[in-house]
Structure 1
Amino acid sequence: MATPTAVDNTRPALRRRAGGPLVSPQKRRSHRRENLAGYGFLAPWLIGFFGLTLGPMLISLYLAFTRYNLFTDPRWIGFDNFIRMFTDDPNYMQSVGITLVYVLVGTPIKLAAALGIAMLLNYKDRGTGFFRSAFYAPSLIGASVSVAIVWRAMFQGNGPVDRGLSFFGIELGSWVANVDLVVPMLIILAVWQFGAPMVIFLAGLKQVPMELYEAANVDGAGPFRKFWSVTLPMLSPVIFFNLLLETINAFQIFASAFIISNGSGGPAGMTNYYTVYLYKRAFADLQMGYASAMAWALLIVVAIIAVILFKTSKGWVHYGGDSR
């Protein structure tokens, strides 16, 4: 009869991970320390996300269903704020219409300008770096208060723009006070700051293989045909990226419209863009519950637009190695 072998207790006990190899206690402790270190580095971001982003979002979601003026306790009113937005607030519908015009007109023009300038700068020559920096500079400034003040001074009556047009016999007066011109003025400001999408387009153009243009030359394709059949398909992922970002940014226009109109939303409410009107409802009229409902309506609309863009992108965005 065979005697049982002695158990070697000097070797550390090994545990098997679910579906994985045997792991010693030392390795488990090492993995635990690595995880703790990782969470430690993530802690500032996690605290900021839960304390400054997710927490306020959940609070505003609750306030969207209440009547709240910042000084009294919120009172639950259900969907009354949302019903009021679409049925009993003409100023709200005006702000929606103005914002949609700004997004649908300004965003395509801005992207077209960015792509056009990027194609002009997509070559190696003396001075190219200077021009790239010069065209990108307005985007570095951003939608700041100083830019809005300068822009308002330029387009006011007897300003540089008015005097320049008067030299050619065009009398338009103050764009800031003109109902028909104040929206185009803000669209021009947005288009002027095309530097960020331009740089992204430049990076995309650098990735287009020259062999494709050479093959197009052999086939006798002209400049327009090469642009339509080579450049645009190869740039489609970059176009989609810029379109998504610029559309979302356009819905958030605030500083330029607020400063140019001195916070009044004039003339005739034509600078009462969605975020400007939301701000006035929240902090001028102290209707924080109504403003919270407006914020969530904007979030839902932007999310729907993003989903639509992602769904439709399957038909026109072509990635490298795509079999379509």
Structure 2
Amino acid sequence: MFMKTIAAAALAVLAATGAQAQAPEKPDLVLGVGGKPLLYYLPLTIAERKGYFKEEGLNVTINDFGGGAKSLQALIGGSVDVVAGAYEHTIRMQAKNQDIRAVIELGRFPGIVLGVKKDKAGEIKTIADLKGKKIGVTAPGSSTNFFVNYLIAKAGGNPKDAAYIGVGGGMSAVAAMEKGEIDAISNLDPVISKLETDGEITILADSRTEQGTREIFGGSNPAAVVYIKGDFIEKNPATVQHVVNAFYKALKWLATASPDDIAATVPQEYWLGNKDLYMRAVKASKDTYSVTGIIPPEGMKSANDMLKQFDPELASANIDLAKTFTDKFVKAAATQ
């Protein structure tokens, strides 16, 4: 059995390596993402701006939606081919009998932060105090929503007892907090760093570091991935390989890039009007990016356990986590 397992793994890598040498079957792709300027999706912007998609023979059109839930809907509906989004969606879709698979990990920590409006900090001192409050998320049903749902359920509360308001992932999110339209916010950098710098929020939970992630989840917890429908992967293995190659190059570039290098590469509008603030946000989020591109088994389990805390459908579902991520394309990309 052991030898058969080794042989099967070797064949999978060889197949992916063969796909790497082939031209993409579908060079023109539409990629969906929910909040491209967020540092959560920085590897996508790097792959685009550094020309890695072009190097791989791909012409990628990027559709930026209001949140991850909307890019998932676009994939299911067929208006996009590929999504840069939260790993949790692959688990939730398997529970709905939808074959959606991650092909490379972009973020190993969520990087999501829960903050409370400064003038509400006296009455919202703990997660339990969020009952009845208005919480800003990038979009309802997105990873920022899952994050706060988990925290509330973990604290013994009911996530349905709070109101979730989609505020996006840029200046609209900052404005919602500044205007007092929301009591708390679950969002990412650079939004969080700007709100911190402006003295608008008090932090309740922070998953931008390994220590913070382990305190919240008890272990690692995968964040952004690239996910694709299973039938697309089967029909277009060379295309998928070239997509993964481009993102793998972006991860390798990010591993050694300085905050100044990154700020100089992204569009200036990503800075939210302040380059120094953006570079501080990059520094705060630098550890969140994947080193290998491969989701470890404990990370998959952690994500599944998180969802089970607040999603009754997942609590009773029989999820085969091995079917939520395939590592053969990343392993082939690493041999370049």
Shorter-chain TM-score tier: under 0.3
Larger-gyration structure (1/2)? 1
Higher relative contact order (CA 8 A, sep 6+): 2
* Structure with the bigger percentage of strand: 2
TM-score, normalization by structure 2: 0.27
